[in-house]
Every structure is written in structure tokens, then in C-alpha cells.
């Protein structure tokens, strides 16, 4: 079963500000998320996959 976390937990995990996560959602740049009423929830696996996809290695900089 998937684990879902709120925006505060995602901010803690990623080091991003909560306001950045909100701005990204508004701009359509966000991690995938679910909205249940007013509650925003992120699947932790989606967040980690997104972060992994953004990884830059030293070889990428050459």
C-alpha cells in the first residue's frame, strides 16, 4: 500500500519550502499529488522517483 504524506513532510524530506511546493502546484511544476477536499497529499514513492530523476552526476557536468 502506498504511503501518502502532507506538504510539510515533503518539504522536510526535500529541503524545499512549503511555499515553493505550493507555487509549483499552482504553476503545474509539482510532484504528482492527490487532493482530498482541501488536503494535499503526496505519494512518497512519487516524490522519491522525481528526486531521483533530477539527479545530476559529475559525468553530466562534462
Tens-digit pLDDT profile for residues 6-62: 999 999 999 999 999 999 999 998 889 999 999 999 999 999 999 998 888 888 877
- In three-state secondary structure terms, 4 is strand
- What pLDDT, on the 0 to 100 scale, is given for residue 60? 80
**6 neighbors 41 (Cβ within 8 angstroms):** yes
Q: Please report, for the chain, the start and end positions of each structural domain, with discontinuous segments joined by +.
A: 4-54
Q: What is the DSSP string of 43-55?
A: EHHHHHHHHHHT-
Strands (E), the chain: 4-5, 34-36, 39-43
The reported pTM is 0.81
Distance in angstroms (rounded) separating the CA atoms of residues 30 and 35: 13
- What pLDDT, on the 0 to 100 scale, is given for residue 2? 86
**8 neighbors 18 (Cβ within 8 angstroms):** yes
Amino acid at each position: 500500500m502506498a504511503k501518502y504524506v502532507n506538504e510539510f513532510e515533503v518539504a522536510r524530506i526535500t529541503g524545499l519550502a512549503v511555499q515553493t511546493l505550493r507555487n509549483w502546484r499552482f504553476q503545474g511544476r509539482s510532484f504528482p499529488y492527490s487532493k482530498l477536499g482541501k488536503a494535499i497529499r503526496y505519494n512518497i514513492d512519487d516524490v522519491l522517483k522525481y528526486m531521483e530523476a533530477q539527479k545530476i552526476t559529475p559525468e553530466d557536468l562534462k
